[in-house]
Amino acid sequence: MSAARAGRPSLVVTRRLPAAVEQQLTREFDARLNPDDRALSAAELQAALTSADALLPTVTDRLTAQVLQVEPLRTKILANFGVGFNHIDVAAAKARGLVVTNTPDVLTDDTADDAVMLMLMVARRAGEGERHVRAGAWTGWRPTHLLGTKVTGKTLGLIGIGRIGRAVARRAHHGFGMHVIFHDPHPPSPEVVAELGAEAKRTVEEVLREADFVSLHSPATPETHHLIDASRLALMKPSAFLINTARGDIVDEAALVAALKAGRIAGAALDVFEREPQVSPELLTLENVVLLPHLGSATQETRVAMGLRALENLKAFFSGAPPRDRVV
Ligand code: DGY
């Protein structure tokens, strides 16, 4: 190892990142990349924590209290690639003196686009239609074929109206003329709410009762675990759809399967799952469900921007400045 190389902080990057990001990380850090893109085991994460100054993890790395207990801990910062950090036990990280950062803002638009795409797909039966054409089953246009649900002008209920929820509200209100209602324990200012054409509701239950489409935009915390359970699903209109681009465990997936099978709601569109990458097998058999493999931020532009944002946080930290996106 050259002297210059030895002088730079060491970094373990847990998954493959876009080439432009890996190049920059390698220029700035003594970076160990993961060209095979295989998820690291708990033991491998611990090996990284004992051998590198910094870790750049993703949502697939479970940085539990047990993993973070490793000795001797060399790592000083967990620069997460992603806005959500529920895969990191932040209390344990704090107790071990670790700084944790995330990558907000840069993925807001893509994730909002994903939610709108899912809403349209499930309402207009796009997945079913695609499967139909690919199966060679299409016999031609007819007035009663694959009729879906109109989106324009309907009521969209948002659970959580942070950055991504607001971007969804903007698209829904200004793009589709939807009436947007929401519940958030920390609502934005009345000016922001007015600009979004949105209406605050006092409870999650009110949103669920009134909405034609319910879209989830809460962070995954102990408070939001199974926020949407059997009793809350039962409050939704039988004609309503559930959309989840936030985190899988906000929804009790077994209860959702039961509600869908019993026809208690009209359908669901999911980008995230309770036990990713496992998907409840029954969901795979239901036509009124759209299933995507956690694609919220999956565009070239945004994945590069996320990587550069993590790099910015790392550079700030190692230059002694406060990282922009410190969460712990
Ligand atoms: C995010 O940024 O939180 C994405 O879901 C990937 O982790």
Average confidence score pLDDT of the chain: 97
Domain identity same for 81 and 224: no
Mutating to test ligand 1, I would choose from 249, 297, 299 the residue with most ligand atoms within 8 A of its C-beta, which is: 297
Q: Are 100 and 132 in a shared domain?
A: no
Q: Tell whether the model's pLDDT for residue 272 goes beyond 70.
A: yes
263 lies in some domain: yes
Residues with Cβ within 8 Å of residue 99, at least 6 apart in sequence: 76, 77, 78, 317, 323, 326, 328
Q: What CATH number should be reported for the domain holding residue 256?
A: 3.40.50.720
Q: Report if residue 160 sits inside a domain.
A: yes
Do 141 and 191 fall within a single domain?
yes
- Using the mean position of ligand 1's atoms as its centre, give its distance from the Cα of residue 5 in Å: 31
pLDDT band at residue 98 under the 50/70/90 scheme? very high
Taking the CA of residue 306 as reference, the ligand 1 atom at the shortest distance is 2
What is the share, in percent, of the chain residues with pLDDT greater than 70? Answer: 98
Residue 260 and residue 152 in one domain? yes
Residue 140, in any domain of the structure: yes
* 93 has a pLDDT exceeding 60: yes
> So which residues are the catalytic ones?
247, 276, 294
- 29 and 78: one domain? yes
Name, in order, each residue with C-beta under 8 angstroms of 73's C-beta and a sequence gap of 6 or more.
Answer: 49, 50, 96, 98
Same domain, 58 and 121: no
Same domain, yes or no: 190 and 257: yes
pLDDT tens-digit series, residues 45-59: 999 999 999 999 999
pLDDT of residue 6: 60
Domain tally, the chain: 2
The whole-number pLDDT of residue 5 equals 57
Q: What is the mean pLDDT of residues 94-117?
A: 98
Q: Are 74 and 52 in contact (CB under 8 A)?
A: yes
271 with 148, same domain: the answer is yes
Does the predicted TM-score (pTM) go above 0.75? yes
What is the secondary structure of 59-93 as a DSSP string? TT--B-HHHHT-SS----EEE-SSS--TTB-HHHH
219 and 246, same domain (yes or no) = yes
Section 62-85 average pLDDT: 98
Ligand 1, atom 1: closest residue by C-alpha: 82
In this structure, the residue with its CA closest to atom 6 of ligand 1 is 82
Range of the domain at 28: 10-106+300-318
Claim to verify: residue 257 and residue 121 sit in the same structural domain: yes
- Nearest residue (by CA) to ligand 1, atom 4, is 82
In a domain, 69, yes or no: yes
**120 domain-assigned:** yes
Over residues 181-198, the mean pLDDT reads 95
